[in-house]
Structure 1
Protein backbone atom coordinates (compact mmCIF):
# COMPACT_ATOMS: atom_id res chain seq x y z
CA UNK A 1 0.00 0.00 0.00
CA UNK A 2 1.35 3.46 -0.92
CA UNK A 3 2.71 5.64 1.87
CA UNK A 4 2.92 9.45 2.11
CA UNK A 5 4.78 11.90 4.34
CA UNK A 6 3.74 15.53 4.71
CA UNK A 7 6.06 18.08 6.32
CA UNK A 8 5.05 21.62 7.21
CA UNK A 9 7.64 24.40 6.99
CA UNK A 10 7.98 28.11 7.73
CA UNK A 11 10.73 30.26 6.23
CA UNK A 12 12.17 33.69 6.81
CA UNK A 13 11.80 34.39 3.08
CA UNK A 14 10.53 32.67 -0.07
CA UNK A 15 12.59 33.88 -3.01
CA UNK A 16 12.66 32.85 -6.65
CA UNK A 17 16.18 31.51 -6.00
CA UNK A 18 14.88 29.32 -3.18
CA UNK A 19 12.14 27.91 -5.41
CA UNK A 20 14.62 27.22 -8.21
CA UNK A 21 16.99 25.47 -5.81
CA UNK A 22 14.12 23.37 -4.47
CA UNK A 23 13.35 22.19 -8.01
CA UNK A 24 16.92 21.69 -9.14
CA UNK A 25 18.49 20.29 -5.95
CA UNK A 26 16.01 19.12 -3.33
CA UNK A 27 13.40 17.36 -5.47
CA UNK A 28 16.11 15.13 -7.04
CA UNK A 29 17.63 14.47 -3.58
CA UNK A 30 14.29 13.29 -2.20
CA UNK A 31 13.66 11.16 -5.27
CA UNK A 32 17.11 9.60 -4.97
CA UNK A 33 16.32 8.06 -1.57
CA UNK A 34 13.36 6.03 -2.82
CA UNK A 35 10.43 8.40 -3.22
CA UNK A 36 8.10 7.84 -6.16
CA UNK A 37 7.01 11.48 -6.15
CA UNK A 38 7.44 14.75 -4.29
CA UNK A 39 5.53 18.03 -4.39
CA UNK A 40 6.57 21.22 -2.65
CA UNK A 41 3.51 23.41 -2.15
CA UNK A 42 3.58 27.07 -1.19
CA UNK A 43 0.80 27.46 1.37
CA UNK A 44 1.37 31.11 2.33
CA UNK A 45 3.82 33.97 1.93
CA UNK A 46 6.36 32.27 4.22
CA UNK A 47 4.99 28.73 4.56
CA UNK A 48 5.10 25.56 2.53
CA UNK A 49 4.52 21.84 2.77
CA UNK A 50 6.36 18.93 1.19
CA UNK A 51 4.33 15.90 0.18
CA UNK A 52 6.42 12.82 -0.52
CA UNK A 53 5.07 9.53 -1.90
CA UNK A 54 6.61 6.08 -1.48
CA UNK A 55 5.56 2.68 -2.79
CA UNK A 56 4.99 1.40 0.77
CA UNK A 57 5.71 2.02 4.46
CA UNK A 58 8.87 -0.11 4.43
CA UNK A 59 10.39 1.98 1.64
CA UNK A 60 9.48 5.18 3.49
CA UNK A 61 10.99 3.87 6.73
CA UNK A 62 14.21 2.88 4.96
CA UNK A 63 14.53 6.40 3.52
CA UNK A 64 13.96 8.37 6.74
CA UNK A 65 17.58 8.64 7.88
CA UNK A 66 18.58 10.12 4.53
CA UNK A 67 15.45 12.29 4.41
CA UNK A 68 16.39 13.70 7.85
CA UNK A 69 19.76 14.73 6.39
CA UNK A 70 18.05 16.41 3.41
CA UNK A 71 15.68 18.26 5.77
CA UNK A 72 18.59 19.46 7.91
CA UNK A 73 20.47 20.66 4.84
CA UNK A 74 17.44 22.53 3.48
CA UNK A 75 16.69 24.11 6.86
CA UNK A 76 20.25 25.42 7.07
CA UNK A 77 20.50 26.60 3.50
CA UNK A 78 17.22 28.55 3.55
CA UNK A 79 16.73 29.43 7.24
CA UNK A 80 13.59 27.32 7.41
CA UNK A 81 11.91 25.64 10.37
CA UNK A 82 10.05 22.36 10.14
CA UNK A 83 6.78 22.91 11.99
CA UNK A 84 5.36 19.39 11.78
CA UNK A 85 5.44 15.96 10.19
CA UNK A 86 2.52 13.73 9.28
CA UNK A 87 2.70 10.34 7.60
CA UNK A 88 0.52 7.37 6.77
CA UNK A 89 -0.68 4.76 4.36
CA UNK A 90 -2.86 5.88 1.47
CA UNK A 91 -6.25 4.19 1.75
CA UNK A 92 -8.09 5.90 -1.12
CA UNK A 93 -7.15 7.98 -4.13
CA UNK A 94 -7.31 8.39 -7.88
Structure 2
Protein backbone atom coordinates (compact mmCIF):
# COMPACT_ATOMS: atom_id res chain seq x y z
CA UNK A 1 0.00 0.00 0.00
CA UNK A 2 1.08 3.53 -0.70
CA UNK A 3 2.32 5.12 2.49
CA UNK A 4 1.54 8.69 3.47
CA UNK A 5 5.11 9.95 2.98
CA UNK A 6 5.38 8.53 -0.55
CA UNK A 7 1.97 9.95 -1.48
CA UNK A 8 2.98 13.39 -0.20
CA UNK A 9 6.21 13.21 -2.24
CA UNK A 10 4.23 12.31 -5.35
CA UNK A 11 1.73 15.13 -4.75
CA UNK A 12 4.58 17.61 -4.24
CA UNK A 13 6.21 16.51 -7.51
CA UNK A 14 2.89 16.99 -9.29
CA UNK A 15 2.33 20.40 -7.70
CA UNK A 16 5.85 21.48 -8.70
CA UNK A 17 5.33 20.35 -12.29
CA UNK A 18 2.05 22.28 -12.53
CA UNK A 19 3.62 25.33 -10.86
CA UNK A 20 6.39 25.30 -13.46
CA UNK A 21 3.73 25.14 -16.18
CA UNK A 22 2.05 28.21 -14.70
CA UNK A 23 5.38 30.03 -14.88
CA UNK A 24 5.61 29.12 -18.56
CA UNK A 25 2.14 30.59 -19.09
CA UNK A 26 3.21 33.81 -17.38
CA UNK A 27 6.48 34.17 -19.25
CA UNK A 28 6.69 31.81 -22.23
CA UNK A 29 9.59 33.71 -23.76
CA UNK A 30 11.73 32.71 -20.76
CA UNK A 31 11.61 29.03 -21.74
CA UNK A 32 12.96 27.17 -24.72
CA UNK A 33 10.78 24.74 -26.61
CA UNK A 34 12.72 21.83 -25.09
CA UNK A 35 12.16 23.20 -21.58
CA UNK A 36 8.44 23.55 -22.25
CA UNK A 37 8.28 19.99 -23.58
CA UNK A 38 10.08 18.73 -20.46
CA UNK A 39 7.68 20.58 -18.18
CA UNK A 40 4.73 19.09 -20.06
CA UNK A 41 6.23 15.60 -19.74
CA UNK A 42 6.76 16.12 -16.01
CA UNK A 43 3.12 17.18 -15.59
CA UNK A 44 1.86 14.07 -17.36
CA UNK A 45 4.33 11.75 -15.62
CA UNK A 46 3.63 13.06 -12.13
CA UNK A 47 -0.15 12.84 -12.55
CA UNK A 48 0.08 9.39 -14.12
CA UNK A 49 2.34 8.18 -11.28
CA UNK A 50 -0.28 9.13 -8.70
CA UNK A 51 -3.00 7.37 -10.69
CA UNK A 52 -0.81 4.28 -11.09
CA UNK A 53 -0.26 4.15 -7.32
CA UNK A 54 -3.99 4.58 -6.68
CA UNK A 55 -4.77 1.77 -9.13
CA UNK A 56 -2.19 -0.55 -7.52
CA UNK A 57 -3.62 0.07 -4.04
CA UNK A 58 -7.18 -0.34 -5.32
CA UNK A 59 -6.30 -3.69 -6.91
CA UNK A 60 -5.13 -5.01 -3.53
CA UNK A 61 -8.58 -4.52 -1.98
CA UNK A 62 -11.22 -7.23 -1.87
CA UNK A 63 -14.11 -7.02 -4.34
CA UNK A 64 -16.68 -5.77 -1.81
CA UNK A 65 -14.40 -2.96 -0.64
CA UNK A 66 -13.55 -2.07 -4.23
CA UNK A 67 -17.24 -1.78 -5.10
CA UNK A 68 -17.99 0.41 -2.08
CA UNK A 69 -14.94 2.57 -2.70
CA UNK A 70 -15.71 2.99 -6.40
CA UNK A 71 -19.31 3.97 -5.64
CA UNK A 72 -18.24 6.97 -3.54
CA UNK A 73 -16.37 9.01 -6.18
CA UNK A 74 -18.85 7.96 -8.86
CA UNK A 75 -21.68 9.39 -6.76
CA UNK A 76 -19.76 12.60 -6.07
CA UNK A 77 -20.32 14.00 -9.55
CA UNK A 78 -16.60 14.76 -9.84
CA UNK A 79 -15.71 13.20 -13.18
CA UNK A 80 -17.85 10.49 -14.70
CA UNK A 81 -18.24 6.95 -13.37
CA UNK A 82 -16.43 5.76 -16.50
CA UNK A 83 -13.45 8.03 -15.69
CA UNK A 84 -13.23 6.62 -12.16
CA UNK A 85 -13.44 3.09 -13.56
CA UNK A 86 -10.64 3.85 -16.02
CA UNK A 87 -8.45 5.38 -13.31
CA UNK A 88 -9.01 2.80 -10.57
CA UNK A 89 -9.61 -0.38 -12.55
CA UNK A 90 -8.65 0.24 -16.18
CA UNK A 91 -5.56 1.65 -17.80
CA UNK A 92 -5.72 5.11 -16.24
CA UNK A 93 -7.04 8.48 -17.30
CA UNK A 94 -7.94 8.29 -20.99
CA UNK A 95 -6.17 11.62 -21.46
CA UNK A 96 -2.78 9.97 -20.92
CA UNK A 97 -3.62 7.19 -23.37
CA UNK A 98 -4.92 9.50 -26.10
CA UNK A 99 -2.13 12.07 -26.13
CA UNK A 100 1.01 11.25 -28.00
CA UNK A 101 4.13 11.86 -25.94
CA UNK A 102 6.15 14.91 -26.89
CA UNK A 103 9.49 13.99 -28.41
Q: TM-score, normalised by structure 1?
A: 0.31
Rg comparison, structure with higher value = 2
Q: Which has the higher strand share?
A: 1
Q: Which has the higher helix share?
A: 2
Higher RCO structure, 1 or 2 (CA under 8 Å, sep 6+): 1
Q: TM-score, normalised by structure 2?
A: 0.29
